[in-house]
Amino acid sequence: MPFGPLPGGLAYFAGVKLLGYTAYGQSLRKRFDDDPAQNWSRTFKIGAVRTLIGVVLGAAYGALAWKGIFGDSAPAVFMIGLLPVRIGEWLLLLRLMFKERTRDTRQTAWAVGLGVVVSYGLDLIGILAAFVLPGGAWVC
C-alpha cells in the first residue's frame, strides 16, 4: 500500500529510492555527457530531485487511487497506471537536470525507459520490504 501506516515506512523506502535514483543519476550524467568535473554532490542532487518528484506525484496518484478512481480493481491495475506517471516523472527530471542536452530523442527515450525500469525495480524492493519491516511503504 502506498506510504504505509507509519512515518518510518515512508522514510526507509524513500531512502531506498534516493539511493537507487542517485546511482542511476550517475549513469544519466554519463549518458548526457555531463561535465565530468562535477562531483558526487551533483549526482546526489539528481537522486534527491527524482525522489522528491516521486514523493509529490506518488502522493497525488495514491490519493486518486484511494478516492476510488480504479474502483475495486487489482493492485496490478494500480501499478500499470503508474506507467504514464513514471514516464512524466523521468521526462521532468531530465528537463530539470539536463535541459537542452535531452534534445536527442533516442537517447532521452532510452534514459526514460531505463528510469521506469529502475523505478519499478525499486518498488519491488519496497513491496518486499513491506512484508518484513514495520511500517512498509513505497513511493513513485
- The three cell numbers of residue 69 are 478512481
Total-model pTM: 0.83
Residue 60 dihedral angles phi and psi, to the nearest 5°: -65, -45
The domain in which residue 59 lies consists of: 7-132
Is residue 1 assigned to a domain? no
pLDDT at position 51, please?
94
**Cα four-point dihedral sign 25, 139, 11, 129:** negative
Q: Is residue 12 part of a domain?
A: yes
pLDDT at 129 over 50: yes
HSE-CB at 58 with a 13 A cutoff on CA atoms is 24
Confidence (pLDDT) at 3:
45
C-alpha cell read off for 61: 496518484
Q: Which residue has 512524466 as its cell numbers?
A: 88
Separation of alpha carbons 126 and 10, rounded Å = 10
Q: What is the mean pLDDT of residues 22-31?
A: 91
Residue 66 lies in a domain: yes
Residue 124 lies in a domain: yes
pLDDT of residue 2 exceeding 50, the answer is no
SS3 state of residue 10: helix
Residue 36: per-residue pLDDT = 63
What is the pLDDT at residue 54?
93
> Tens digits of per-residue pLDDT, 76-126?
778 888 999 999 999 999 999 988 788 778 889 999 999 999 999 998 887
Residue 79 covered by a domain = yes
- Decide if 140 is inside a domain: no
User: For residue 72, what pLDDT is reported?
Assistant: 63
Confidence of residue 47 (pLDDT cuts 50, 70, 90): very high
Q: What is the pLDDT of residues 53-78, one digit of tens each?
A: 998 998 888 787 776 666 666 677 78
Residue 18 pLDDT greater than 60, yes or no: yes
The total of structural domains in the chain comes to 1
Q: Which of 130, 112, 124, 140 is nearest to 27 (CA)?
A: 112
